[in-house]
A and B are shown apart, each in its own frame.
Chain A
Amino acid sequence: MPTVDWSARGRAMQKWQNQRAWFLVIPVVVLVAFNALIPVMTVVNYSVQDIFDSTHRIFVGTEWYREMLLNTRLQHALLRQLVFSGLVLLIELPLGVAIALTMPRKGGWGLSATLVIVALPLLIPWNVIGTIWVIFLRPDIGLLGHFIDHTLGIHFDYPTVPIQAWISVMMMEVWHWTPLVVLLAYAGLRSIPDAYYQAANIDAASRWAVFWYIQLPKMRGVLTIAVLLRFMDSFLIYTEPFVLTGGGPGDTTTFLSIYLVKLAVGEFDVGKAAAFSIIYFLIVLVFSYVFYQVLLRAQRGEVR
């Protein structure tokens, strides 16, 4: 073998290795810059200016921000959003776990069929989901709507009754996204070795004890991921409730993003909307950070 100057090559290799990695990242950087950074900069730009038309702009600094933060409609929308996300977590997580617990533990065609059926709602485009439920809930031709209105005798008219609008939106949301929790929880359950169940059997543990002391602790990791995902997604939700209720009746189901779009596109108040966007972004960022820390601590706890 020819003699190679390993020492120089070693050092050069180190440097070359690091730099090669950067080259791979460049295309991504360009794309992200184009699709995200530049628009964000634009938004920031709009949020600190009052634009009358292409020639008249005034720099207003934090005026929009102050106005938005004091805006009662924004505050109400935020409140509704928090209630919505809270309900989502409260309903979807236990329900998802419960469904995962009933799914067959061993592989086979039964399991594959169940998995496919459970995952179906996740595959449907979001606006189609909204449309499906619009029809499903119509009191004249919709299966559920007709059932409630005629068979149960309750006057069902969700576009005009706020509580019914909320229930409808919740039903649609739970139907759409619980399968994600189910799949995550099921993956967590599958990873528990049989020996734990056998040991619990030997210890004469009740079904509840098996769940509380074995299954739930072992699912900690996946459930934290589920909480993180569901909270974030529900906080940003737009399409499905918009198609179903349009934010109504009035603004009883106007969540944050729906309000934001109304502001930006409906009222064309770009400055306010831009400021609102930034605030929204910051709220999401804070929550993400908090959840991330919790997730990290949970993982570390398990490793020990």
Chain B
Amino acid sequence: MSIRLESVSMVSMGESIINDVSLAVERGTMNVLLGPTLAGKTTLMRLMAGLDKPTSGRILDDGNDVTGVSVRERSVAMVYQEFVNYPSFTVYENIAAPLRRAKRLSAPQIDAKVRARAQMMHIDHLLHRLPSELSGGQQQRVALARALVKEAPLLLLDEPLVNLDYKLREELRSEIREIFRRGSTTVVYATTEPQEALLFGGNTIVLDAGRVLQCGPALEIYDRPATIRASQVFSDPPINLIRAVIGPQGCRLSPSVAFPLARHMRALPQGDYRVGVRADHIGLAGHAEYGRLIPAKVELAEINGSETYIHAGHGDFQMIAVLQGVHKFGLGDEINLYLDPRRLFVFDSAGNLVAAPGENAGGTGAH
């Protein structure tokens, strides 16, 4: 089913949680709702499901107005952060529950479906156990299987992996991705991690403080964030934002760092701006023509095994750079960082994107 929200707002206990949100979720697509905690993701999903009624606005399902229709009348399945399973039912009964309630299938049919889903989620050897006897990852798989067996046209997942171990999260993520690629369900997946949005691909909806900042394919938002806030929400590690002045000589970041404008910035009028550059576009060695030198002092170096994260300061701004390979730096070391002006996002004083790295800004990069 396709869902459309038109100017939906939700006010609860005097606080505006959702503010004039309009968005469209197409049938059969995978959608990621990305935003920091308390952005309103859970509330938005509850509105889509019919668990809550919006204070104003309309919700349309395949073109039909379902604002106010309770969730019992809609065909929705939902998976929560806290592994929610019926504690007194075995895994088998848990998965079979929605089918039994619908009362449309015979026992052998129910059995076949339950076993198929259990196998898909790799829990077919646990069918006789109770949820309390399972690990966190297994419980969440049961919840997923139960949501899937319903074959509801709309499936909502509210940060389902956030309470799981790191490695388990990785595994389940790829499994979920596989499952939804093959299916025809409309899926909405809420998360705080930009990585997951990029991994699932599909349509990404960036939410912050109850408003939709940007909507579109994940890579598109990644390459062209519409506002400063959207670029911040959609970056991990955090994007570097530096005040810049564009003048007759080019772009100036500080008394000692200035460079001619890259192609995508040439059309901009002079004035004050903020430029954004991603941590992986700052490197240690630059091609002389592309890389611009920024002498910086190391404030912190973290090694991730195959990458090094440097927090460095230059003048009055700080940067985070991700360097490939292992580099040992001490605190206070003076190093030279190079940034590629072709990779800069430029935001005006209102925070809107006015220039973004174009296709010709690719090349081999400054690593």
Contact = CB atoms under 8 A, between A and B. Distances in A.
B304 interface: no
A289 interface: no
Interface in A1-42: 4-7, 9-11, 13-14, 17
Contact of B64 (A10, A14, A17): A10
Contacts of A13: 68-70, 73
Please report whether the interface of chain A is mostly helix, strand, loop or mixed according to DSSP: helix
Interface in A189-232: none
Contacts of B73: 13
A6 B69 CA distance: 9
Interface string B325-361: 0000000000000000000000000000000000000
Contacts of A5: 64
B65 A14 contact: no
The 3 A-B pairs at the shortest CB distance, nearest first, are namely: A6-B64, A7-B65, A14-B68
Please report whether the interface of chain B is mostly helix, strand, loop or mixed according to DSSP: loop
Interface of B: 61, 64-70, 73
A260 to B, nearest CB: 42
A7 B63 CA distance: 9
Given A10-B69, A11-B68, A17-B70, 6 more contacts: A6-B64, A6-B65, A6-B66, A10-B68, A13-B68, A13-B69
B312 to A, nearest CB: 36
A14 B73 CA distance: 11
Nearest to A14: B68
Contacts of A4: 64
A9 B73 CA distance: 10
A6 B68 contact: no
A6 B70 contact: no
Contacts of B67: 10
24 contacts: A4-B64, A5-B64, A6-B61, A6-B64, A6-B65, A6-B66, A6-B69, A7-B64, A7-B65, A9-B69, A10-B64, A10-B65, A10-B66, A10-B67, A10-B68, A10-B69, A11-B68, A13-B68, A13-B69, A13-B70, A13-B73, A14-B68, A14-B69, A17-B70
A6 B65 CA distance: 6
Q: Tell which of B61, B64, B67, B70 has the most Cβ of chain A within 10 Å.
A: B64
Contacts of A10: 64-69
A11 B70 CA distance: 11
Interface residues of A, number: 10
Nearest to B67: A10
A46 to B, nearest CB: 44
B195 to A, nearest CB: 30
Nearest to B153: A1
A7 B59 CA distance: 11
Nearest to B59: A10
Q: Tell which of A5, A10, A13 has the most Cβ of chain B within 10 Å.
A: A10
Contacts of B69: 6, 9-10, 13-14
A4 B69 CA distance: 13
Contacts of B64: 4-7, 10
A9 B64 CA distance: 10
Nearest to A7: B65
Contacts of A17: 70
Nearest to A4: B64
Contacts of A9: 69
Contacts of B68: 10-11, 13-14
A9 B68 CA distance: 10
Contacts of B66: 6, 10
A11 B66 CA distance: 8
A214 B67 CA distance: 45
A132 B64 CA distance: 69
Contacts of B65: 6-7, 10
A10 B53 CA distance: 12
Nearest to A6: B64
A143 B29 CA distance: 80
B77 to A, nearest CB: 17
A14 B65 CA distance: 12
A5 B66 CA distance: 10
A40 to B, nearest CB: 34
Contacts of B61: 6
A284 B288 CA distance: 85
A17 B69 CA distance: 9
A231 B68 CA distance: 43
